[in-house]
Homo-oligomer: A and B are copies of this chain.
Amino acid sequence: MTENTDIRTAFDQVMAEDHDLPAKQKQVLAASLTLFAEQGFANTTTKQIADRAGVAEGTVYRRYKTKDELLAALLKPMVTQVLPRLMHEFAQQVKTMQHLTRRQLLTALIENRVAFLEDNWQVGKILINEMMIRDDLRQSVMLNAGPIIQKTLFPILDQLREQHELAAIPNDMVGQFVIGTVLTNLLRANLQGDFAAFSQRAPYLIDFLDRGLAPK
């Protein structure tokens, strides 16, 4: 799985995109990320961001012209680059495995990505919250994530089903169940404020999904 070593978090992605981003701008992005995740975008003031980042308020606006641009700078790479690449790399990884069982697939999907999910939970939280509210963001995510899931994940599911490893459930429902189970686990860990719990529960998730998606 060397091909995964270069998986970076969404946050690093923003940094990488502009690799001569000054230190203070990085602090601004980091502070924004934390505060948006903690308090929500709308409840975070640019003054708070400046204070947390240890810069003047004007500095917050140096690169990103508005508060909305700051949000976009954090979310866009996640939606347009990180998630797609993650899916793609996952599909590549799966292809290298011969006679993949359902459980192997789920284990690869969940355990191998736990670190990534924990790293990016802050961005994910912001993303989910803002998707509830912003039509444009919802559209953008749908347009980006939808096709990629179909192209990368669905063929794998079809193959599994042919090998009698997967129940006769529509692919989109399989996706819904897997994503939902993982997401709920993340959500619960967040509500409990206990992120260790997230990975501790991973075996239960694999077990539950393994049985739920088994053919009759």
- Could you tell me which A residues sit within 8 Å of B by CB distance? 38-40, 42-43, 125, 129, 131-133, 138, 142, 167, 169-170, 173, 176-177, 179-181, 183-185, 187-188, 190-191, 201, 204, 207-209, 211-214
**Residues B184 and A180 in contact, CB atoms below 8 Å apart:** yes
Q: A160 to nearest B CB, angstroms?
A: 16
Pick the contact of A180 from B131, B142, B185 — CB < 8 Å? B185
Question: Within 8 Å CB of A209, what residues of B?
Answer: 212
Q: A53 to nearest B CB, angstroms?
A: 21
What is the copy number of this chain in the assembly?
4
**Residues A43 and B208 in contact, CB atoms below 8 Å apart:** no
Question: Within 8 Å CB of A188, what residues of B?
Answer: 176, 180
Question: Within 8 Å CB of A208, what residues of B?
Answer: 169, 173, 177, 212-213
Q: A26 to nearest B CB, angstroms?
A: 22
Q: A106 to nearest B CB, angstroms?
A: 12
Question: Within 8 Å CB of A213, what residues of B?
Answer: 208, 211-212
Question: Within 8 Å CB of A38, what residues of B?
Answer: 133
Question: Within 8 Å CB of A43, what residues of B?
Answer: 42, 133
Q: A180 to nearest B CB, angstroms?
A: 3
Q: A75 to nearest B CB, angstroms?
A: 15
Pick the contact of A191 from B129, B138, B173 — CB < 8 Å? B138
Bound Cα distance from A4 to B129, whole angstroms = 32
**Residues B180 and A176 in contact, CB atoms below 8 Å apart:** no
Pick the 3 closest A-B CB pairs, nearest first. A180-B184, A212-B212, A42-B42
Question: Within 8 Å CB of A167, what residues of B?
Answer: 207, 211
Bound Cα distance from A181 to B185, whole angstroms = 11
Question: Within 8 Å CB of A207, what residues of B?
Answer: 167, 169
Given A169-B207, A208-B169, A211-B212: A181 in contact with B177 (beta carbons within 8 A): yes
Bound Cα distance from A153 to B38, whole angstroms = 31
In the assembled complex, 13 residue pairs joining A and B whose CB atoms fall closer than 8 Å, in A order, are A38-B133, A40-B42, A40-B133, A43-B133, A129-B129, A142-B191, A167-B207, A169-B204, A176-B188, A177-B181, A184-B184, A211-B211, A212-B212
